[in-house]
Amino acid sequence: AQKITQTQPGMFVQEKEAVTLDCTYDTSDPSYGLFWYKQPSSGEMIFLIYQGSYDQQNATEGRYSLNFQKARKSANLVISASQLGDSAMYFCAMREGPNTGNQFYFGTGTSLTVIP
Amino acid sequence: KAGVTQTPRYLIKTRGQQVTLSCSPISGHRSVSWYQQTPGQGLQFLFEYFSETQRNKGNFPGRFSGRQFSNSRSEMNVSTLELGDSALYLCASSLGPLRSYGNQPQHFGDGTRLSIL
């Protein structure tokens, strides 16, 4: 089974609108961390937001928020007020805890295009 | 604060050769991880080094190896290059080892794009 699943290969959003990028994960470890990264066409990976498995509240960082639904094992990224500079690949990632190998897993990514 | 630095940015090699890639982490970061990114397989974890010791290893053949120096700089070596090794190789650093609980984002370098002819 895939550790991280991103089912949207490509998404389009109108500038200034909000968009949700989907991510589901699979782990048996009770301790894990979930991350979202942005990769512009230039190639660098930029850390956006983090959610710990024991965090009670959804994480927020500026225009980014993470809709964490633990029972469903989903960690969707919400970008509010989209900007042209948000056009990029977005990767969901998970770091498992010590019970299951401590590795980092990435999804296949979602390509977001912001339309003016 | 300088970011993660990877050298070289681009590399062209032929089959059968070997290559060494370098990564300098953010100052104070002691964990360095390496990833291979290809259009077909996406981002795949190669290995992680912390305090000069390999802590985790992904599912790659023994041709892929690495090491970490006392200043936390890391090198990755690929021997007997194959066409399928063409990829973007990303290095990421974090304060502590991946097994640490808590907010431990990895900070990535710009990558080394390796092309095998």
**A103·B55 Cβ contact <8 A:** no
The residue type found at B115 is S
pLDDT tens per residue, range B24-51: 999 999 989 999 999 888 889 899 998 8
Residue A20's CB: how many other CB atoms inside 10 A?
14
Distance from CA of B81 to the nearest CA of A (A): 23
pLDDT score of B100: 53
Nearest-by-Cβ selection for A44 from B48, B105, B110: B110
Check whether B98 has a pLDDT greater than 50.
Answer: yes
User: Does the pLDDT value for residue B103 go beyond 70?
Assistant: no
From chain B, pick out residues whose CB is under 8 angstroms from the CB of A31: 101
Q: Is A100 on the interface with B (CB under 8 A)?
A: no
Q: What is the pLDDT of residues A73-97, one digit of tens each?
A: 999 999 999 999 999 999 999 988 7
Long-range (24+ apart) CB contacts under 8 A made by B25-28 are B25/B72, B25/B73, B25/B74, B25/B91, B25/B93, B26/B1, B26/B2, B26/B93, B26/B107, B27/B1, B27/B2, B28/B95
Name the residue among A35, A50, A102 with its Cβ closest to that of B56: A102
* The pLDDT value given to residue B101: 45
User: How many CB pairs (< 8 A) connect A and B?
Assistant: 61
- Cα of B17 to nearest chain A Cα, Å: 25
Which residues of A, range 56-85, sit inside 8 Å of B by Cβ? none
B86: enclosing H helix or E strand = none
Question: What percent of chain A shows pLDDT beyond 90?
Answer: 71
Tokens of A98: 């010590």
Distance from CA of B59 to the nearest CA of A (A): 11
pLDDT tens-digit profile of B61-88?
999 999 999 999 999 999 999 999 999 9
